[in-house]
Protein backbone atom coordinates (compact mmCIF):
# COMPACT_ATOMS: atom_id res chain seq x y z
CA UNK A 1 0.00 0.00 0.00
CA UNK A 2 1.26 3.48 -0.87
CA UNK A 3 0.00 7.02 -0.40
CA UNK A 4 -1.48 6.88 -3.90
CA UNK A 5 -3.83 4.10 -2.75
CA UNK A 6 -5.45 6.14 0.04
CA UNK A 7 -7.97 7.93 -2.15
CA UNK A 8 -9.09 4.59 -3.65
CA UNK A 9 -9.53 2.95 -0.25
CA UNK A 10 -10.87 5.86 1.84
CA UNK A 11 -12.44 8.09 -0.78
CA UNK A 12 -11.70 11.77 -1.60
CA UNK A 13 -10.03 13.88 1.12
CA UNK A 14 -12.53 15.34 3.60
CA UNK A 15 -10.32 18.30 4.52
CA UNK A 16 -8.47 20.30 1.87
CA UNK A 17 -5.45 22.32 3.07
CA UNK A 18 -5.62 26.08 2.54
CA UNK A 19 -3.81 27.27 -0.55
CA UNK A 20 -0.53 28.95 0.31
CA UNK A 21 -0.01 32.58 -0.60
CA UNK A 22 1.94 33.05 -3.79
CA UNK A 23 3.21 36.54 -2.97
CA UNK A 24 3.86 38.82 -0.02
CA UNK A 25 0.80 41.03 0.45
CA UNK A 26 -0.25 44.10 2.40
CA UNK A 27 -2.78 43.39 5.13
CA UNK A 28 -2.57 39.60 5.41
CA UNK A 29 -0.52 37.47 7.82
CA UNK A 30 -0.32 33.88 9.00
CA UNK A 31 -1.42 33.24 12.56
CA UNK A 32 -1.01 29.97 14.45
CA UNK A 33 -3.90 28.40 16.36
CA UNK A 34 -4.35 25.36 18.59
CA UNK A 35 -7.17 22.92 17.84
CA UNK A 36 -8.38 19.71 19.44
CA UNK A 37 -6.73 17.71 16.67
CA UNK A 38 -3.46 19.64 16.53
CA UNK A 39 -2.46 23.06 15.23
CA UNK A 40 -3.65 25.15 12.32
CA UNK A 41 -2.47 28.13 10.29
CA UNK A 42 -5.02 30.96 10.14
CA UNK A 43 -4.80 33.62 7.44
CA UNK A 44 -5.76 36.91 9.09
CA UNK A 45 -6.83 39.56 6.57
CA UNK A 46 -7.52 43.26 6.95
CA UNK A 47 -8.81 45.84 4.52
CA UNK A 48 -9.35 49.59 4.67
CA UNK A 49 -12.28 51.40 3.11
CA UNK A 50 -14.12 54.73 3.35
CA UNK A 51 -16.38 54.89 6.38
CA UNK A 52 -17.08 56.48 9.75
CA UNK A 53 -14.41 55.06 11.99
CA UNK A 54 -15.84 51.56 12.49
CA UNK A 55 -13.95 48.34 13.26
CA UNK A 56 -15.58 45.33 11.57
CA UNK A 57 -14.68 41.81 12.73
CA UNK A 58 -15.84 38.69 10.88
CA UNK A 59 -14.96 35.01 10.85
CA UNK A 60 -16.93 33.88 13.93
CA UNK A 61 -14.41 35.28 16.41
CA UNK A 62 -14.84 34.77 20.15
CA UNK A 63 -14.73 37.52 22.75
CA UNK A 64 -11.03 37.02 23.54
CA UNK A 65 -10.03 37.38 19.88
CA UNK A 66 -12.16 40.50 19.60
CA UNK A 67 -10.29 41.99 22.54
CA UNK A 68 -7.02 41.05 20.84
CA UNK A 69 -8.17 42.97 17.77
CA UNK A 70 -8.91 46.04 19.90
CA UNK A 71 -5.46 45.93 21.50
CA UNK A 72 -3.83 45.44 18.09
CA UNK A 73 -5.75 48.39 16.69
CA UNK A 74 -4.61 50.67 19.51
CA UNK A 75 -1.01 49.62 18.92
CA UNK A 76 -1.35 50.18 15.16
CA UNK A 77 -2.73 53.68 15.75
CA UNK A 78 0.43 54.54 17.67
CA UNK A 79 2.49 53.18 14.77
CA UNK A 80 0.49 55.31 12.34
CA UNK A 81 1.43 58.43 14.30
CA UNK A 82 5.08 57.42 14.09
CA UNK A 83 4.70 57.21 10.31
CA UNK A 84 3.67 60.86 10.19
CA UNK A 85 0.06 60.38 9.10
CA UNK A 86 -2.28 63.34 9.46
CA UNK A 87 -3.95 63.58 12.86
CA UNK A 88 -7.52 63.21 11.52
CA UNK A 89 -6.93 60.28 9.18
CA UNK A 90 -9.24 58.09 11.30
CA UNK A 91 -12.32 60.23 10.74
CA UNK A 92 -13.39 59.01 7.31
CA UNK A 93 -12.22 55.40 7.14
CA UNK A 94 -12.91 52.04 8.72
CA UNK A 95 -11.07 48.75 8.99
CA UNK A 96 -12.35 45.23 8.39
CA UNK A 97 -10.52 42.27 9.93
CA UNK A 98 -11.53 38.85 8.66
CA UNK A 99 -10.36 35.34 9.55
CA UNK A 100 -11.55 32.91 6.83
CA UNK A 101 -13.38 29.64 7.50
CA UNK A 102 -16.26 31.62 8.97
CA UNK A 103 -18.17 28.44 9.81
CA UNK A 104 -15.57 27.47 12.41
CA UNK A 105 -15.67 29.28 15.80
CA UNK A 106 -12.31 30.77 16.79
CA UNK A 107 -11.14 32.07 20.13
CA UNK A 108 -8.12 32.23 22.40
CA UNK A 109 -5.52 34.71 23.64
CA UNK A 110 -2.84 34.30 20.98
CA UNK A 111 -3.88 36.27 17.89
CA UNK A 112 -2.87 39.74 19.07
CA UNK A 113 0.56 39.72 17.45
CA UNK A 114 -0.87 38.56 14.11
CA UNK A 115 -3.55 41.23 14.07
CA UNK A 116 -1.03 43.91 15.05
CA UNK A 117 1.27 42.96 12.17
CA UNK A 118 -1.67 42.95 9.75
CA UNK A 119 -2.83 46.40 10.84
CA UNK A 120 0.64 47.95 10.81
CA UNK A 121 1.08 46.49 7.32
CA UNK A 122 -2.06 48.38 6.27
CA UNK A 123 -0.89 51.59 7.91
CA UNK A 124 2.53 51.49 6.30
CA UNK A 125 1.69 49.87 2.97
CA UNK A 126 4.46 47.31 3.59
CA UNK A 127 3.67 43.65 2.74
CA UNK A 128 3.94 40.85 5.31
CA UNK A 129 6.19 37.93 4.41
CA UNK A 130 4.13 34.97 3.22
CA UNK A 131 6.59 32.43 4.69
CA UNK A 132 6.26 33.73 8.27
CA UNK A 133 3.72 32.48 10.82
CA UNK A 134 3.27 33.85 14.33
CA UNK A 135 1.56 33.44 17.68
CA UNK A 136 1.45 35.59 20.80
CA UNK A 137 -0.82 37.89 22.76
CA UNK A 138 0.09 41.55 23.15
CA UNK A 139 -0.36 44.40 25.60
CA UNK A 140 -1.34 47.93 24.63
CA UNK A 141 2.32 48.93 24.85
CA UNK A 142 3.34 46.17 22.46
CA UNK A 143 4.78 43.59 24.85
CA UNK A 144 4.34 39.98 23.68
CA UNK A 145 2.84 37.57 26.22
CA UNK A 146 3.19 33.75 26.37
CA UNK A 147 0.65 31.41 24.80
CA UNK A 148 -0.41 27.79 25.12
CA UNK A 149 -0.26 24.92 22.64
CA UNK A 150 3.08 25.98 21.17
CA UNK A 151 4.08 22.47 20.08
CA UNK A 152 0.90 21.95 18.06
CA UNK A 153 1.16 25.41 16.52
CA UNK A 154 4.74 24.86 15.38
CA UNK A 155 3.82 21.51 13.89
CA UNK A 156 1.11 23.28 11.89
CA UNK A 157 3.63 25.86 10.68
CA UNK A 158 5.97 23.08 9.50
CA UNK A 159 3.13 21.26 7.70
CA UNK A 160 2.15 24.50 5.95
CA UNK A 161 5.69 25.04 4.69
CA UNK A 162 6.44 28.13 6.75
CA UNK A 163 10.12 29.06 6.96
CA UNK A 164 9.91 31.24 10.08
CA UNK A 165 7.76 31.06 13.22
CA UNK A 166 7.54 34.07 15.53
CA UNK A 167 6.83 33.02 19.13
CA UNK A 168 6.90 34.72 22.55
CA UNK A 169 10.38 34.62 24.08
CA UNK A 170 8.83 33.43 27.34
CA UNK A 171 7.69 30.23 25.58
CA UNK A 172 11.14 29.15 24.43
CA UNK A 173 11.55 26.57 27.19
CA UNK A 174 8.76 24.54 25.56
CA UNK A 175 10.77 23.93 22.40
CA UNK A 176 12.22 20.81 24.01
CA UNK A 177 8.82 19.18 23.29
CA UNK A 178 9.37 19.58 19.56
CA UNK A 179 11.35 16.79 17.86
CA UNK A 180 14.81 17.84 16.68
CA UNK A 181 14.16 16.98 13.03
CA UNK A 182 11.16 19.34 13.04
CA UNK A 183 13.04 22.18 14.75
CA UNK A 184 15.55 21.95 11.91
CA UNK A 185 12.83 22.54 9.31
CA UNK A 186 11.73 25.95 10.59
CA UNK A 187 13.51 28.98 12.01
CA UNK A 188 11.97 29.85 15.37
CA UNK A 189 12.27 33.55 16.25
CA UNK A 190 11.55 34.48 19.89
CA UNK A 191 10.35 38.05 20.42
CA UNK A 192 9.66 40.24 23.45
CA UNK A 193 7.75 42.99 21.62
CA UNK A 194 5.62 43.68 18.56
CA UNK A 195 8.39 45.94 17.24
CA UNK A 196 10.68 42.90 17.07
CA UNK A 197 7.98 40.89 15.30
CA UNK A 198 7.52 43.65 12.72
CA UNK A 199 11.23 43.64 11.89
CA UNK A 200 10.94 39.93 11.10
CA UNK A 201 7.54 39.76 9.43
CA UNK A 202 7.48 42.87 7.22
CA UNK A 203 9.34 42.79 3.92
CA UNK A 204 11.15 46.02 4.81
CA UNK A 205 11.55 48.19 7.93
CA UNK A 206 8.98 50.80 8.83
CA UNK A 207 9.70 54.22 7.34
CA UNK A 208 10.75 57.20 9.43
CA UNK A 209 7.95 59.82 9.70
CA UNK A 210 9.97 62.36 7.73
CA UNK A 211 10.36 59.90 4.89
CA UNK A 212 6.59 59.58 4.59
CA UNK A 213 5.99 63.32 4.65
CA UNK A 214 4.28 64.99 7.58
CA UNK A 215 0.51 65.14 7.32
CA UNK A 216 0.13 62.54 4.56
CA UNK A 217 0.23 58.78 4.32
CA UNK A 218 3.10 57.03 2.50
CA UNK A 219 2.51 56.28 -1.14
CA UNK A 220 0.32 53.23 -1.46
CA UNK A 221 -0.32 53.08 2.29
CA UNK A 222 -3.61 52.27 3.97
CA UNK A 223 -4.77 53.46 7.36
CA UNK A 224 -6.77 52.10 10.27
CA UNK A 225 -9.70 53.50 12.17
CA UNK A 226 -11.08 53.33 15.72
CA UNK A 227 -13.79 50.85 16.72
CA UNK A 228 -17.47 51.66 16.94
CA UNK A 229 -18.55 53.29 20.17
CA UNK A 230 -20.02 50.58 22.34
CA UNK A 231 -19.12 47.84 19.83
CA UNK A 232 -18.60 44.25 20.95
CA UNK A 233 -15.19 44.03 19.24
Active site residues: 110, 153
CA distance 158 to 176: 16
Using CA atoms in the order 214, 217, 218, 220, what is the torsion angle rounded to 10 degrees?
Answer: -160
Q: Is 196 exposed, middle or buried (0-12, 13-18, 19+ CB in 10 A)?
A: middle
For residue 207, count CB atoms less than 10 angstroms from its CB and return exposed for 0-12, middle for 13-18, buried for 19 or more.
middle
Contact 85, 48 (CB under 8 A): no
Query: Which DSSP state fits 24?
Result: -
Amino acid sequence: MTADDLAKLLGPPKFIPDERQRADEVGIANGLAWTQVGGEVLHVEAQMMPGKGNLILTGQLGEVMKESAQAALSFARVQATRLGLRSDFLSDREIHIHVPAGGVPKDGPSAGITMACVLVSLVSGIPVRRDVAMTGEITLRGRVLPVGGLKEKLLAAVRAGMRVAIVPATNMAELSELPTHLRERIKIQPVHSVDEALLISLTRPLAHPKAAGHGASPRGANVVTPPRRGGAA
